[in-house]
Structure 1
Amino acid sequence: MAKPKVFVIYYSTYGHVHTLSQSIVKGVLKPGTVDVELYQIAETLSQDTLEKMHAAPKANVPEITADKLVDADGILLGFPTRFGTAPAQVKALFDATGKLWASKALQGKSVGLFFSTGSQHGGQESTAYTFLPHLAHHGMIYVPLGYSSLYMFDNDTIVGGSAWGSGVIAGPDGSLQPTYKELEIAEIQGEKFAQIVTKLVAGTDREDVEQQQESAAAAPEEVAVVDSQSPAASAPAQLVKPATDSTSHDDTAAAADSSVANKEKGSAVRKLVAKFKKVFK
């Protein structure tokens, strides 16, 4: 059986989320139970605008398309915040998933999120919270990080990430780069996510097997029939399927009894209706 497949998909303007995605991928591969593919979300801004923003060059990573999402068993999605919500590039990708929504193609797929913000209070939690409607309408399963790393309790230094997902604090001018603590939290998120996806996919496979077994049990069983008057009665019995077009004597009697009972009920009902007519006349 093929391994479950996890897509790590990111959008990055200045490279911080791309760097974080590398640690996410490393963590996903750690258990050895899933395959992983890395994609980036297509840019919607013009090159002229990106140059004025001093955006980082795009990495040599294939771009994801909406139709490709159906191939993943789980998705880890990373992006920077825009005023506490997902950027337009990410929304554009999900705006193109109407066909997948109509066909319920993404239902039951696991999703985790990771982020980048300019400050400690720049919206890493609110970005996840405001993105949940996209997942809910598709019937996708949100998998939060929880407090899975001791670094998330570190108050001595600035550390990105929260129970909602791993994160990077880039600074107001983007000069801060992901720290080793932030990268380790991202790696833990990838590892935990891969373990959950493996369990969910394995559970689905077990359900398929159980359904097949139930269907087989519900099928008509073959029975042995031997004619006791036949000289060949001592020969091995032949397996034949039970007849479905014959009616036994017991079945005929039961049908006759049912017909009589129905007639008696009909007569009783007619008498009751006549009685009510007299009362309310």
Structure 2
Amino acid sequence: MTKPKVLIAFYSRNGSTDILANAIADGAVQEGAEVRLRRARELVGEDVMSQVPGWRENARAMNEKYEAPTEADAEWADAIIFGTPTRFGSISSELKAYIDSLGGIWFQGKLNGKVGSVFGSTSSKHGGNESTLLSIYTPMAHLGLIIVPLGYADPAMFKAGTPYGATHVSARDSLKPDEDHLAVGRFQGRRVTSVARGLQHANTTESAN
């Protein structure tokens, strides 16, 4: 059986979502996945970015590190994990723009039956982590993804994260995800990969019959 292919498509401005994305990637690799990490690109120019301290510099650094997600990445993947910082209690426009760009392959039915999961971060306590993750469930359902939440299926879930996906509160960018939050991320990577592998096996068995 081939390795499950996992796409982690995320947007990060100040690094917290980036760190969670890498923890999820580590967990997926531990479970035997082939992983692509991709960062969505800004929708505004540098004149706007320069008004927020560090935004332009962080964007340049992360864009050098990661390719932008594409339709081809989504078609390649057996599982797609979306990650975003909270923007007024909902998904960032940068990640949403990528999801909206998938309309072509959605129309062709190429996303049906792939595994889908979400993670995110926010600057302030009660800043919308859970509402943001739940808001992404809606377009995931329209895309035809099989949504995989975390529940409380691992001891790490009783220390950090949410049952909907890995999360972090940065306290206005003064805190980075600690080991408890990274453990939830790694669990998410393992869980999504395990489900993707199970679907691979089921589809292979069905084709053989």
Same fold (TM over 0.5): yes
1:127 to 117, 124, 132: 132
8 A Cα contact 2:82 2:117, kept in partner = yes
1:100 to 93, 99, 105: 105
Q: What TM-score, normalized to structure 1?
A: 0.69
1:80 to 82, 85, 96: 85
8 A Cα contact 1:9 1:38, kept in partner = yes
Instruction: State the distance in 2 between where 1:27 and 1:36 align.
Output: 10
Once the two structures are superposed, residues 112-167 of structure 1 have per-residue CA deviations (whole angstroms, 9 ceiling, x without a partner) of 1010012231111111221222111111111001113434334xxxx4x2000001
- Superposition RMSD on alpha carbons, in Å? 1.5
Aligned to 1:272: none
Secondary structure, aligned partner of 2:50: helix
Aligned to 1:257: none
Once the two structures are superposed, residues 57-77 of structure 1 have per-residue CA deviations (whole angstroms, 9 ceiling, x without a partner) of 432111111343111000111
8 A Cα contact 1:148 1:188, kept in partner = no
Secondary structure, aligned partner of 1:92: helix
Matched, 1:208 2:207: yes
Aligned to 1:162: 162
Aligned to 1:152: 157
Secondary structure, aligned partner of 1:52: coil
Secondary structure, aligned partner of 1:107: coil
1:195-234 alignment to 2 at 5 Å?
Answer: 195-210=194-209
Unaligned runs of 5+ in 2: none
Larger mean Cα displacement after TM superposition, 49-58 or 93-102: 49-58
Instruction: State the distance in 2 between where 1:204 and 1:18 align.
Output: 32
Aligned to 2:96: 91
Aligned to 2:26: 26
8 A Cα contact 2:120 2:168, kept in partner = yes
Deviation at 1:26, TM superposition (A): 0.6
Letter paired with 2:111:
L
8 A Cα contact 1:146 1:163, kept in partner = yes
Q: Percent identity?
A: 32
Instruction: State the distance in 1 between where 2:156 and 2:207 align.
Output: 40
Secondary structure, aligned partner of 2:91: coil
Instruction: State the distance in 1 between where 2:154 and 2:126 align.
Output: 20
Secondary structure, aligned partner of 1:39: strand
Aligned to 1:142: 147
8 A Cα contact 2:118 2:136, kept in partner = no
Deviation at 1:182, TM superposition (A): 0.5
Instruction: State the distance in 1 between where 2:143 and 2:157 align.
Output: 30
Instruction: State the distance in 1 between where 2:22 and 2:137 align.
Output: 24
Instruction: State the distance in 1 between where 2:30 and 2:154 align.
Output: 16
Q: Higher relative CO (CA 8 A, sep ≥ 6), structure 1 or 2?
A: 2
8 A Cα contact 1:66 1:94, kept in partner = no
8 A Cα contact 2:124 2:170, kept in partner = yes
Instruction: State the distance in 2 between where 1:152 and 1:143 align.
Output: 15
Aligned to 1:7: 7
Instruction: State the distance in 2 between where 1:193 and 1:30 align.
Output: 12
Instruction: State the distance in 2 between where 1:16 and 1:113 align.
Output: 14
Aligned to 1:184: 183
8 A Cα contact 1:108 1:139, kept in partner = yes
Once the two structures are superposed, residues 167-196 of structure 1 have per-residue CA deviations (whole angstroms, 9 ceiling, x without a partner) of 11111x212111111011111111111111
Larger radius of gyration: 1
1:50-89 alignment to 2 at 5 Å?
Answer: 50-54=49-53, 55=55, 56-57=58-59, 58-59=61-62, 60-89=65-94
